[in-house]
Amino acid sequence: MRKRLNTTYYLVIFALGIFMLVIIGYYVYDSSVQEKEGFIEADAPIPLEEIENRIENGVHVQTGLVDGEGLNLVIANCTACHSAQLVTQNKADKEGWKNMIVWMQQTQNLWDLGDQEEKILNYLAKYYAPEQAASATFRRPPLKDIEWYDLTEQ
């Protein structure tokens, strides 16, 4: 009888250990998947003073977003939760971008953008519109005012 209790005790401990490993593994896996997909949890925009503003060839270096009016608002509000690549790989008109914002607010806990929403929509519709995608072959605009030189073998 005593041996049977010991066996049951060890089986319960073993089962609890396996259960804990599964739970821990789920949370580690889930957070690593979110990081790989470019998602981060945020409940507020990035403060504007924390945004690095280095622009080269008309492109914000840190994010790859096109430089223009509203860029910092897009960085502050969009990249607080996901990578800028999610913006650059999507194309939509103003209404399409508005629908994406509403979807994110309804399903992804995006905060109310308030009076900044119109400026963000104008930026996205101007630089990431469907006609921009059709005419561009690269994510970034072509380099301009570059002094090219020939490489020679020595």
Task: Kindly state the tokens that stand for 23.
Answer: 């739970």
Contact 94, 121 (CB under 8 A): yes
Q: What is the pLDDT of residue 55?
A: 84
Where do the structural domains in the chain lie, given as residue ranges?
48-134
**H or E stretch at 146:** none
Q: How far apart are the first and last CA of the chain?
A: 88
In this prediction, residue 26 carries a pLDDT of: 74
Calculate Rg over the CA atoms of the chain.
Answer: 24
| pLDDT (0 to 100) of residue 137 | 47
Give the phi and the psi of residue 56 in degrees, each rounded to 5.
Answer: -130, 130
Tell me, what's the pLDDT at 1?
54
Identify the pLDDT of residue 13.
86
Cα separation, 152 vs 46, whole angstroms: 47
**pLDDT (tens place) for every residue of the chain, 154 residues total:** 556 667 887 888 888 888 888 888 777 765 555 544 555 556 667 676 667 778 888 888 888 899 999 998 999 899 888 989 989 898 999 999 999 999 999 998 889 999 999 999 999 999 999 875 444 444 566 677 888 888 888 7
